[in-house]
Structure 1
């Protein structure tokens, strides 16, 4: 548990200033509240000892305390406001960095998409598990620092007057401060159960909704609902167990704080005239400590939840990347001819080989049509060329350089991929296009749209480039969406284009028109055209078929 939480803190170096400022602000706020009651206690203790308020207020200690009361009263709400402002700002910034870090780790480990991963569970890790980490700072580190400052300040103030009373007051408060560490291991197990149950519930909800048409067509909504119900019941049980741990911590902490208060009160009542003032001061300090230390026992539950969230994040983030970056990357080649020599590949050791001694040459400017039925390995070839996977045998070169020695980012600047199910995101047309070229000007966007023969359509829309595409590009027809995706691919300066079933899902007439556009728009680049069949408008320079894991020449 400790190792995961320390690693989380190590991921926030850019926010160290904010995090430290939040702790300082919280300590100042807590000590201001403590000082307020110390001063009030001095005034009241002086009045009690003197036997009359008027005399006490005119004596040195009582008068000094009264003078300081007003500025401390004014400072206290300001410090409290800064405490909340800075600690929450620090938390929001740190969690934002965490989400970006986790997304990048997932992108490295899932370059070909979610695959067999459960989308709902990953969504839970990205949202709920990251959010659970706010408890590490807001409900553990900040209260612990404030509580420690309170205990030290109380020990100094009361210790100067009566060391025995200081010990009586400090011991139960120190126990309350350490209580989260005692309760955390058991709470951590409950927190991990709750985190897993929450991920299972998200998967149970998201999975059938993702394929809702299939679920309804198979009359599977009842089974899906039963799965959601079972996952919800499991989550409720796990959360109840965690809540019981939290309640136990809260009750234990309250008892310890009350023990400090009652001990101080008993001391004050039995101390006599000489110890009465110190006893009353201790009572006021115990009251002041209750606010800060009262939060600490529940910090054990927050610590457990943060630990469980961190463990789930690292489980996904530390999965081995399918293709490791080269330890010593080489310089990018000048040319972009592609060659596959003796390539062998299988997606898993227990699955049949997709390629067996595959040889393929794609000279610069060539236009290769690669044909084959589903499962022949056409899309697998694209994944290998983009380093979404690595061959187990043979080598792939770009411009004579083994792509294993090239950074993935550099390779993907040279090779662009129009995937079979190229997605338009729920954003503007301009934002969708700029995925391929973030710095592209509007003129460049229009040029790409015109080359994809969809510029006139976009010009006719009321909002033009700022038109929202809708989720999955639902704002447009299938043919229009494919042309917009093609425009995005053409916007890339990559000299090599892989077009994976570019006309998938289109009717025959729309398919021919789109492929005709494709032939004209990709002139001057090397093109690997992955198809089930040829329509006659593609005009490739070579036609190959994938058969038995090898590429053989075909007549058409």
Structure 2
């Protein structure tokens, strides 16, 4: 736990932290003042001094206004602390996943960490900053107000308050174990669901729907069971809140006759009750919820990220690097489950260096599955796949790049998006890649390489152009375009594919237009039984399925998106 807390504290930049603390000072005033105002206003009204009572209430309103100004500034400054922290986590997860890939180690949980767990840590980190700040502000204001009002009341109020807070800390160990179980269940669910949904068309085509449903159902139930166990811990937190939040109120009410006999006024007693009900009780409830839920999720999830995303040491031996980039598939089979029909069955295929291969076939026949197998994203259920003489799953990430139909663009500059796979690229190389792929007009419209990109407003075609330029610029000698140009018009697609064909290395295109097949040196036709490889003209003579596909294309139809 100390490691996670230290990591969060080190991520807090000094200047934004100091500014946030300074704007928190005005918020102490209404907390400190409301008990005093209620006490003195009550005594004033009881004594018939209405003007004085109204003056105290007016002062309370003024203090509340100052506190609201401070609170608004705090929320404005919060992003200056949280967003750099999130960026650090994303970089760590990505670096760790890439390092694991280079070593040939599967890292199936990386997607869950990057998508859900990083966002969970970012949100809880922001929430904890606010909750801890509000707790300190409230307790400081209440203690100062109680001591100013009547120190004897603090003697009755603070001990049970601290007891409830201490009990909540005592159950953190139990809660931490159950949070860890929830995180593991979340990762298992993400891996299973991601694998199943990625091949949903192939699953449907192979009739493996029942098996896939059962496969996903098991981690769903495990995740639900972990969440139910967390709910039981929440019940214990309710008991802690009763001790720390309601017991001070009962103690103060029980001691009221004794206090009044010793000269404590009605207004002073009411002011003390106000500090408990409107100060300590809400602050404790929020703090208990944060520590028992958000705090534990922060510690456990961040610990999971730090443990699984660590960069391997330099002394750790690396796998033998590929020798060239020839792809060999030997009797490769793949099925989404032991009872399902194979999507690919004993496929033999060689993609020599500097080849240009188009892959065609009906929807659900396994084109995208083939792309995932070549990239090492899926292990074959039979046969073997080699890239440069080493198993595909062990070939490093710099050996191939896959661009899917839904291109990924992140918030950042245009240059950051384009050079993500080649950080050391020169400006001349970047500009040459932009021109070759046909993204010049897009980059100009976005405002140049230094402009910031917002992924939301971009069209699917614009996202594809950015991803294509990124892939073109990468050092990978093997590029696989899996419906990566489907949102471009035919002319833009032609320019992009011809640029990759002229680029040093091999190109595999999952074709969705006849023009892609015509531009390729060779064409692979997948029909589920007897795949055929040849030239466009040769396949027109030898493959009935290919003739049918070309006929549909020429009639203006396109193959449905690959699966």
TM-score range, shorter chain: 0.5 to 0.7
Partner of 2:27: 29
1:20 Cα deviation after fit: 4.8
Give the distance between the partners of 1:306 and 1:175, measured in 2 at CA: 24
- 1:339-384 Cα deviation digits (max 9, x unpaired): xxxx96799xxxxxxxxxxxxxxxxxxxx9699x975651649999
Moved more, 269-278 or 478-487: 478-487
- 1:184-233 Cα deviation digits (max 9, x unpaired): 11111111111111112222211111122332233222121122222222
Give the distance between the partners of 1:264 and 1:376, measured in 2 at CA: 76
Match of 2:264 among 267, 275, 282: 275
Partner of 1:105: 96
Matches within 5 A, 1:1-12: 1-10=1-10, 12=11
1:315 equivalent in alignment to 2:344: no
Partner of 2:85: 94
Structure 1 counterpart SS, 2:312: coil
The root-mean-square deviation of aligned C-alpha atoms, in Å, is 4.8
Structure 1 counterpart SS, 2:264: helix
- 1:8-27 Cα deviation digits (max 9, x unpaired): 433x24x4433454455456
Change in CA separation of 1:263 and 1:467 when aligned onto 2, cut-off 3 Å: closer
1:185 equivalent in alignment to 2:196: no
Change in CA separation of 1:245 and 1:101 when aligned onto 2, cut-off 3 Å: same
1:143–1:293: 8 Å Cα contact kept in structure 2?
Answer: no
1:191–1:305: 8 Å Cα contact kept in structure 2?
Answer: yes
Structure 1: unaligned runs, 5 residues or longer: 327-342, 348-367, 390-411, 451-462, 492-496, 517-532, 536-556
Partner of 1:523: none
Match of 1:426 among 384, 388, 407: 407
Change in CA separation of 1:264 and 1:79 when aligned onto 2, cut-off 3 Å: farther
Give the distance between the partners of 1:253 and 1:188, measured in 2 at CA: 19
1:39–1:65: 8 Å Cα contact kept in structure 2?
Answer: yes
Change in CA separation of 1:465 and 1:204 when aligned onto 2, cut-off 3 Å: closer
Partner of 1:304: 296
Matches within 5 A, 1:176-325: 176-272=164-260, 274-276=263-265, 277-289=267-279, 290-299=281-290, 300-318=292-310, 320=312
Give the distance between the partners of 1:345 and 1:89, measured in 2 at CA: 42
1:158–1:282: 8 Å Cα contact kept in structure 2?
Answer: yes
Give the distance between the partners of 2:143 and 2:254, measured in 1 at CA: 18
TM-score normalized by the length of structure 2: 0.61
1:295 Cα deviation after fit: 0.7
Structure 1 counterpart SS, 2:255: helix
1:190–1:241: 8 Å Cα contact kept in structure 2?
Answer: yes
TM-score normalized by the length of structure 1: 0.62
Change in CA separation of 1:8 and 1:148 when aligned onto 2, cut-off 3 Å: closer
2:26–2:66: 8 Å Cα contact kept in structure 1?
Answer: no
Structure 1 counterpart SS, 2:207: coil
Matches within 5 A, 1:288-437: 288-289=278-279, 290-299=281-290, 300-318=292-310, 320=312, 375=385, 378=388, 380=390, 388=396, 419=400, 426=407, 437=425
Change in CA separation of 1:203 and 1:263 when aligned onto 2, cut-off 3 Å: same
- 1:500-523 Cα deviation digits (max 9, x unpaired): 4x357789997896569xxxxxxx
Give the distance between the partners of 1:473 and 1:508, measured in 2 at CA: 15
- 1:16-43 Cα deviation digits (max 9, x unpaired): 4334544554564355244234323321
1:473 Cα deviation after fit: 0.3
Change in CA separation of 1:376 and 1:246 when aligned onto 2, cut-off 3 Å: closer
Structure 1 counterpart SS, 2:106: coil
Give the distance between the partners of 1:465 and 1:161, measured in 2 at CA: 67
1:293 Cα deviation after fit: 2.0
Partner of 1:17: 15
Structure 2 counterpart SS, 1:318: coil
Moved more, 218-227 or 314-323: 314-323
Partner of 1:520: none
Matches within 5 A, 1:413-492: 419=400, 426=407, 437=425, 439=427, 444-445=432-433, 448-449=436-437, 466=462, 468=464, 472-475=483-486, 484=496, 487=499
1:30–1:150: 8 Å Cα contact kept in structure 2?
Answer: yes
1:313 Cα deviation after fit: 0.8
Change in CA separation of 1:447 and 1:29 when aligned onto 2, cut-off 3 Å: closer
- 1:482-501 Cα deviation digits (max 9, x unpaired): 9736736978xxxxx5x24x
Structure 2: unaligned runs, 5 residues or longer: 324-351, 356-382, 439-458, 468-481, 523-532, 536-563
